[in-house]
Amino acid sequence: NAGVTQTPKFQVLKTGQSMTLQCAQDMNHNSMYWYRQDPGMGLRLIYYSASEGTTDKGEVPNGYNVSRLNKREFSLRLESAAPSQTSVYFCASRYGGQETQYFGPGTRLLVL
């Protein structure tokens, strides 16, 4: 099992450009999450999907959109990137009824 995979690993964007971060899990988990990690701020939830077909906003959703494509895949889209979105983005998944979240390796995004 690959667990949680994320692509790309690293990306540089110019202000105003758009991009989609991809996440997939092969653990048959119901719930999936997108976080951003900034120095000194821990992880902040952007969006989550409790199950296939549902998505909900987290703590910091502005400037982002998500799509739960199927049970395996959960993508995060930046429509018009801003320097404030420079961060490390983590995708995580969780099996229903269990607390443990399993994280991908992260995508490092730099917006110039």
Interface residues with other proteins (CB under 8 A)?
A: 4, 31, 40-45, 48, 90, 92, 94, 99-106
Rounded Cα gap, residues 84 and 13, in angstroms = 12
Nearest residue (CB) to other proteins, 41 versus 69: 41
| Shortest separation between residue 27's beta carbon and other proteins, angstroms | 14
Nearest residue (CB) to other proteins, 59 versus 79: 59
Nearest residue (CB) to other proteins, 19 versus 43: 43
| Shortest separation between residue 46's beta carbon and other proteins, angstroms | 13
Q: What beta strand segments (E) does the chain contain?
A: 4-7, 10-13, 19-25, 31-37, 43-49, 56-57, 64-68, 74-78, 87-94, 102-103, 107-111
88 three-class SS: strand
Nearest residue (CB) to other proteins, 55 versus 102: 102
| Shortest separation between residue 36's beta carbon and other proteins, angstroms | 11
Closest CA to 37 of 85, 94, 71, 5: 85
